[in-house]
Protein backbone atom coordinates (compact mmCIF):
# COMPACT_ATOMS: atom_id res chain seq x y z
CA UNK A 1 0.00 0.00 0.00
CA UNK A 2 1.28 3.51 -0.80
CA UNK A 3 2.26 5.35 2.37
CA UNK A 4 0.00 8.34 1.60
CA UNK A 5 -3.01 6.04 1.27
CA UNK A 6 -2.04 4.15 4.42
CA UNK A 7 -1.57 7.40 6.36
CA UNK A 8 -5.00 8.63 5.29
CA UNK A 9 -6.61 5.35 6.30
CA UNK A 10 -4.98 5.49 9.74
CA UNK A 11 -5.83 9.19 10.07
CA UNK A 12 -9.49 8.54 9.29
CA UNK A 13 -9.54 5.73 11.85
CA UNK A 14 -7.71 7.81 14.46
CA UNK A 15 -10.38 10.52 14.24
CA UNK A 16 -12.92 7.95 15.44
CA UNK A 17 -10.81 6.80 18.42
CA UNK A 18 -10.17 8.18 21.88
CA UNK A 19 -6.83 6.39 22.18
CA UNK A 20 -4.42 4.13 20.34
CA UNK A 21 -2.34 1.36 21.92
CA UNK A 22 0.65 0.84 19.65
CA UNK A 23 1.66 -2.84 19.90
CA UNK A 24 2.77 -3.20 16.27
CA UNK A 25 6.43 -4.15 15.88
CA UNK A 26 8.95 -6.51 14.38
CA UNK A 27 9.95 -8.29 17.58
CA UNK A 28 12.20 -11.30 17.03
CA UNK A 29 15.83 -10.70 18.02
CA UNK A 30 17.33 -13.43 15.82
CA UNK A 31 15.55 -12.09 12.75
CA UNK A 32 16.85 -8.58 13.53
CA UNK A 33 20.41 -9.91 13.62
CA UNK A 34 19.85 -11.62 10.27
CA UNK A 35 18.37 -8.48 8.67
CA UNK A 36 17.73 -5.26 10.58
CA UNK A 37 16.00 -3.36 7.77
CA UNK A 38 12.40 -4.47 8.55
CA UNK A 39 12.97 -3.51 12.20
CA UNK A 40 14.10 -0.02 11.30
CA UNK A 41 11.24 0.38 8.83
CA UNK A 42 8.47 -0.89 11.11
CA UNK A 43 9.66 -0.01 14.60
CA UNK A 44 11.30 3.35 13.93
CA UNK A 45 9.79 4.84 10.79
CA UNK A 46 6.44 3.15 11.37
CA UNK A 47 6.19 4.55 14.89
CA UNK A 48 7.02 8.06 13.71
CA UNK A 49 4.42 7.91 10.94
CA UNK A 50 1.83 6.76 13.46
CA UNK A 51 2.76 9.58 15.86
CA UNK A 52 2.45 12.08 13.02
CA UNK A 53 -0.97 10.80 11.97
CA UNK A 54 -2.25 10.73 15.55
CA UNK A 55 -1.02 14.26 16.17
CA UNK A 56 -2.93 15.41 13.10
CA UNK A 57 -6.06 13.65 14.35
CA UNK A 58 -5.61 15.20 17.82
CA UNK A 59 -5.56 11.78 19.42
CA UNK A 60 -6.57 11.83 23.08
CA UNK A 61 -4.01 9.27 24.30
CA UNK A 62 -1.24 7.19 22.73
CA UNK A 63 0.25 4.14 24.50
CA UNK A 64 3.57 3.01 23.05
CA UNK A 65 4.36 -0.60 23.95
CA UNK A 66 8.10 -1.18 24.26
CA UNK A 67 10.42 -3.75 25.84
CA UNK A 68 12.81 -4.36 28.73
CA UNK A 69 15.50 -5.08 26.15
CA UNK A 70 16.13 -1.35 25.68
CA UNK A 71 17.95 -1.38 29.05
CA UNK A 72 20.41 -4.04 27.90
CA UNK A 73 21.94 -6.79 30.00
CA UNK A 74 21.97 -6.31 33.78
CA UNK A 75 24.35 -7.57 36.45
CA UNK A 76 23.05 -10.15 38.96
CA UNK A 77 20.76 -8.49 41.50
CA UNK A 78 20.31 -5.27 39.53
CA UNK A 79 16.93 -4.11 38.25
CA UNK A 80 16.18 -1.44 35.67
CA UNK A 81 13.97 1.45 36.69
CA UNK A 82 12.21 3.78 34.29
CA UNK A 83 15.12 6.23 34.64
CA UNK A 84 17.86 3.67 33.93
CA UNK A 85 20.03 4.46 30.89
CA UNK A 86 19.20 2.83 27.58
CA UNK A 87 21.83 0.33 26.47
CA UNK A 88 20.31 -1.78 23.67
CA UNK A 89 22.40 -4.61 22.25
CA UNK A 90 20.50 -6.19 19.36
CA UNK A 91 19.15 -4.37 16.29
CA UNK A 92 15.66 -5.16 17.62
CA UNK A 93 16.37 -3.54 20.97
CA UNK A 94 18.02 -0.56 19.27
CA UNK A 95 14.98 -0.06 17.04
CA UNK A 96 12.67 -0.11 20.06
CA UNK A 97 14.89 2.31 22.00
CA UNK A 98 14.83 4.59 18.96
CA UNK A 99 11.05 4.47 18.78
CA UNK A 100 10.84 5.21 22.51
CA UNK A 101 12.95 8.33 22.00
CA UNK A 102 10.79 9.44 19.10
CA UNK A 103 7.71 9.15 21.31
CA UNK A 104 9.38 11.12 24.10
CA UNK A 105 10.49 13.78 21.62
CA UNK A 106 6.90 14.19 20.47
CA UNK A 107 5.76 14.50 24.10
CA UNK A 108 8.33 17.22 24.83
CA UNK A 109 8.17 19.09 21.53
CA UNK A 110 4.49 18.83 20.63
CA UNK A 111 2.90 17.92 23.98
CA UNK A 112 1.79 14.68 22.38
CA UNK A 113 -0.33 12.75 24.93
CA UNK A 114 1.78 9.60 24.99
CA UNK A 115 2.85 7.03 27.58
CA UNK A 116 5.57 4.38 27.15
CA UNK A 117 5.40 0.89 28.63
CA UNK A 118 8.36 -1.48 28.86
CA UNK A 119 7.51 -5.11 29.49
CA UNK A 120 9.40 -8.31 30.18
CA UNK A 121 9.07 -11.57 28.20
CA UNK A 122 5.45 -12.52 27.50
CA UNK A 123 4.08 -16.05 27.20
CA UNK A 124 0.63 -17.55 26.67
CA UNK A 125 -1.79 -18.65 23.94
CA UNK A 126 -1.34 -17.69 20.28
CA UNK A 127 2.34 -16.77 20.62
CA UNK A 128 4.25 -17.39 17.40
CA UNK A 129 6.44 -20.52 17.59
CA UNK A 130 9.73 -18.73 16.95
CA UNK A 131 9.50 -17.38 20.53
CA UNK A 132 11.24 -19.37 23.24
CA UNK A 133 8.36 -21.02 25.13
CA UNK A 134 6.24 -22.08 22.12
CA UNK A 135 9.44 -23.19 20.36
CA UNK A 136 10.30 -25.44 23.28
CA UNK A 137 6.72 -26.74 23.49
CA UNK A 138 6.56 -27.51 19.76
CA UNK A 139 9.91 -29.29 19.70
CA UNK A 140 9.16 -31.30 22.83
CA UNK A 141 5.70 -32.27 21.58
CA UNK A 142 7.22 -33.56 18.34
CA UNK A 143 10.01 -35.40 20.17
CA UNK A 144 12.59 -33.20 18.44
CA UNK A 145 15.68 -31.52 19.98
CA UNK A 146 15.08 -28.36 22.00
CA UNK A 147 17.70 -25.81 20.85
CA UNK A 148 19.02 -23.90 23.88
CA UNK A 149 21.51 -21.12 23.24
CA UNK A 150 24.93 -21.24 24.89
CA UNK A 151 24.90 -22.70 28.39
CA UNK A 152 21.18 -21.97 28.91
CA UNK A 153 21.89 -19.73 31.89
CA UNK A 154 20.50 -16.53 30.37
CA UNK A 155 17.86 -15.08 32.68
CA UNK A 156 14.50 -13.67 31.62
CA UNK A 157 11.56 -12.34 33.65
CA UNK A 158 8.37 -14.04 32.44
CA UNK A 159 4.90 -12.48 32.46
CA UNK A 160 1.64 -14.08 31.36
CA UNK A 161 0.04 -12.18 28.49
CA UNK A 162 -3.14 -11.58 30.52
CA UNK A 163 -1.15 -9.84 33.26
CA UNK A 164 0.47 -7.69 30.59
CA UNK A 165 -2.97 -6.81 29.20
CA UNK A 166 -4.19 -5.87 32.68
CA UNK A 167 -1.22 -3.55 33.07
CA UNK A 168 -1.81 -1.93 29.68
CA UNK A 169 -5.46 -1.37 30.58
CA UNK A 170 -4.53 0.27 33.89
CA UNK A 171 -1.99 2.53 32.18
CA UNK A 172 -4.42 3.43 29.40
CA UNK A 173 -7.09 4.44 31.90
CA UNK A 174 -5.06 5.93 34.76
CA UNK A 175 -1.46 6.40 33.64
CA UNK A 176 0.13 9.83 33.54
CA UNK A 177 0.94 11.27 30.12
CA UNK A 178 4.63 11.65 29.35
CA UNK A 179 5.58 8.87 31.78
CA UNK A 180 7.25 5.47 31.34
CA UNK A 181 6.01 2.39 33.19
CA UNK A 182 7.92 -0.88 33.59
CA UNK A 183 5.80 -4.05 33.52
CA UNK A 184 7.36 -7.23 34.92
CA UNK A 185 6.22 -10.67 35.96
CA UNK A 186 8.53 -10.93 38.99
CA UNK A 187 9.54 -14.37 37.73
CA UNK A 188 13.21 -14.54 36.84
CA UNK A 189 14.20 -17.92 35.42
CA UNK A 190 17.13 -19.28 33.48
CA UNK A 191 16.23 -20.48 29.99
CA UNK A 192 17.38 -23.99 30.80
CA UNK A 193 15.01 -24.10 33.78
CA UNK A 194 12.05 -23.15 31.58
CA UNK A 195 13.00 -25.77 29.00
CA UNK A 196 13.22 -28.47 31.68
CA UNK A 197 9.82 -27.47 33.09
CA UNK A 198 8.30 -27.90 29.62
CA UNK A 199 9.91 -31.30 29.14
CA UNK A 200 8.63 -32.45 32.53
CA UNK A 201 5.10 -31.20 31.79
CA UNK A 202 5.08 -33.12 28.51
CA UNK A 203 6.70 -36.21 30.02
CA UNK A 204 9.72 -35.94 27.74
CA UNK A 205 13.33 -36.79 28.53
CA UNK A 206 15.89 -34.09 29.21
CA UNK A 207 18.03 -35.88 26.63
CA UNK A 208 16.11 -33.80 24.07
CA UNK A 209 17.94 -30.68 25.29
CA UNK A 210 20.51 -29.57 22.74
CA UNK A 211 22.90 -26.75 23.59
CA UNK A 212 23.62 -24.85 20.39
CA UNK A 213 25.84 -22.00 19.26
CA UNK A 214 24.86 -18.91 21.18
CA UNK A 215 23.12 -15.89 19.71
CA UNK A 216 25.49 -13.06 18.83
CA UNK A 217 25.87 -10.59 21.72
CA UNK A 218 23.26 -12.51 23.72
CA UNK A 219 22.18 -10.43 26.73
CA UNK A 220 22.69 -12.39 29.93
CA UNK A 221 19.91 -11.04 32.11
CA UNK A 222 16.88 -8.76 32.01
CA UNK A 223 15.02 -7.60 35.11
CA UNK A 224 12.65 -4.72 35.81
CA UNK A 225 11.76 -2.71 38.88
CA UNK A 226 7.96 -2.28 38.67
CA UNK A 227 7.53 -0.26 41.87
CA UNK A 228 6.20 2.76 39.99
CA UNK A 229 3.39 0.82 38.32
CA UNK A 230 2.46 -0.89 41.57
CA UNK A 231 2.45 2.24 43.72
CA UNK A 232 0.81 4.64 41.27
CA UNK A 233 -1.75 2.36 39.59
CA UNK A 234 -2.15 -0.55 42.01
CA UNK A 235 -1.19 -3.22 39.49
CA UNK A 236 0.68 -6.43 40.29
CA UNK A 237 1.09 -9.72 38.38
CA UNK A 238 -1.44 -12.42 39.24
CA UNK A 239 -0.33 -15.44 37.19
CA UNK A 240 2.14 -17.74 38.97
CA UNK A 241 4.52 -19.13 36.34
CA UNK A 242 3.93 -22.87 36.76
CA UNK A 243 0.16 -22.38 36.54
CA UNK A 244 0.54 -20.11 33.50
CA UNK A 245 2.92 -22.51 31.79
CA UNK A 246 0.58 -25.47 32.35
CA UNK A 247 -2.32 -23.44 30.94
CA UNK A 248 -0.21 -22.42 27.94
CA UNK A 249 0.85 -26.01 27.20
CA UNK A 250 -2.79 -27.14 27.39
CA UNK A 251 -3.76 -24.43 24.92
CA UNK A 252 -1.13 -25.43 22.37
CA UNK A 253 -2.01 -29.11 22.71
CA UNK A 254 -5.68 -28.26 22.18
CA UNK A 255 -5.02 -26.05 19.16
CA UNK A 256 -2.70 -28.24 17.13
CA UNK A 257 -4.20 -27.19 13.79
CA UNK A 258 -3.32 -23.54 14.43
CA UNK A 259 0.07 -24.50 15.79
CA UNK A 260 0.99 -26.71 12.84
CA UNK A 261 -0.20 -24.13 10.32
CA UNK A 262 1.99 -21.42 11.83
CA UNK A 263 4.98 -23.79 11.80
CA UNK A 264 4.68 -24.48 8.07
CA UNK A 265 5.61 -22.34 5.08
CA UNK A 266 7.91 -19.39 5.76
CA UNK A 267 8.47 -20.34 9.39
CA UNK A 268 9.69 -23.81 8.43
CA UNK A 269 12.13 -22.19 5.98
CA UNK A 270 13.34 -19.76 8.65
CA UNK A 271 13.71 -22.49 11.27
CA UNK A 272 15.80 -24.70 9.05
CA UNK A 273 17.92 -21.77 7.82
CA UNK A 274 18.54 -20.56 11.36
CA UNK A 275 18.99 -23.83 13.25
CA UNK A 276 20.54 -26.16 10.64
CA UNK A 277 24.00 -24.59 11.16
CA UNK A 278 23.45 -25.24 14.87
CA UNK A 279 22.67 -28.91 14.31
CA UNK A 280 18.86 -28.73 14.64
CA UNK A 281 17.56 -28.91 11.11
CA UNK A 282 14.06 -30.34 11.35
CA UNK A 283 10.67 -28.85 12.19
CA UNK A 284 7.75 -31.28 12.37
CA UNK A 285 4.17 -30.41 11.48
CA UNK A 286 1.70 -33.19 12.22
State residue 262's pLDDT score: 85
State residue 9's pLDDT score: 65
Which tens digit of pLDDT belongs to each residue from 175-209? 999 999 999 999 999 999 999 999 999 999 999 99
Q: Is residue 33 part of a domain?
A: yes
Q: Is residue 234 part of a domain?
A: yes
Which entry of 68, 130, 157, 188 is annotated as an active-site residue? 68
3-state secondary structure of 171: helix
Share of the chain above pLDDT 70, in %: 94
Q: Is residue 212 part of a domain?
A: yes
- 68 among known catalytic residues: yes
Which entry of 26, 69, 100, 130 is annotated as an active-site residue? 69
**Whether residue 127 has pLDDT greater than 90:** yes
* Non-local CB neighbours of 168 within 8 Å, separated by 6+ positions: 21, 63, 65, 117, 183
Round to whole Å and give the CA distance between 113 and 116.
10
Which entry of 71, 92, 181, 222 is annotated as an active-site residue? 92
Q: Is residue 60 part of a domain?
A: yes
Q: Is residue 285 part of a domain?
A: no
Domain span at residue 99 reads 3-278
- 69 among known catalytic residues: yes
Mean residue pLDDT across the chain: 93
Q: Is residue 249 part of a domain?
A: yes
Give me the number of domains the chain comprises: 1
Q: For position 166, which CATH number holds?
A: 3.40.50.720
Q: Is residue 283 part of a domain?
A: no
Which tens digit of pLDDT belongs to each residue from 107-119? 999 999 999 999 9
State residue 259's pLDDT score: 85
Per residue, the 3-state secondary structure of 87-113, as one string, reads CCCCHHHHHHHHHHHHHHHHHHHHCCC
State residue 3's pLDDT score: 57
Amino acid sequence: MRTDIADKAVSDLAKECDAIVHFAAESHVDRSIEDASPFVGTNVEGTWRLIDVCRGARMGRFIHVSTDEVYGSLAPGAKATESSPLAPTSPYAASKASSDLLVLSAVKTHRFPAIITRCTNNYGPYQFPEKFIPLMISQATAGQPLPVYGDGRNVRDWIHVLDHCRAIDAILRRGKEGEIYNIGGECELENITVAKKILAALDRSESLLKFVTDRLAHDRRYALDCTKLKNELGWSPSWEFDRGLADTIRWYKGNSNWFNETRSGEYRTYFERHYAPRGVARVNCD
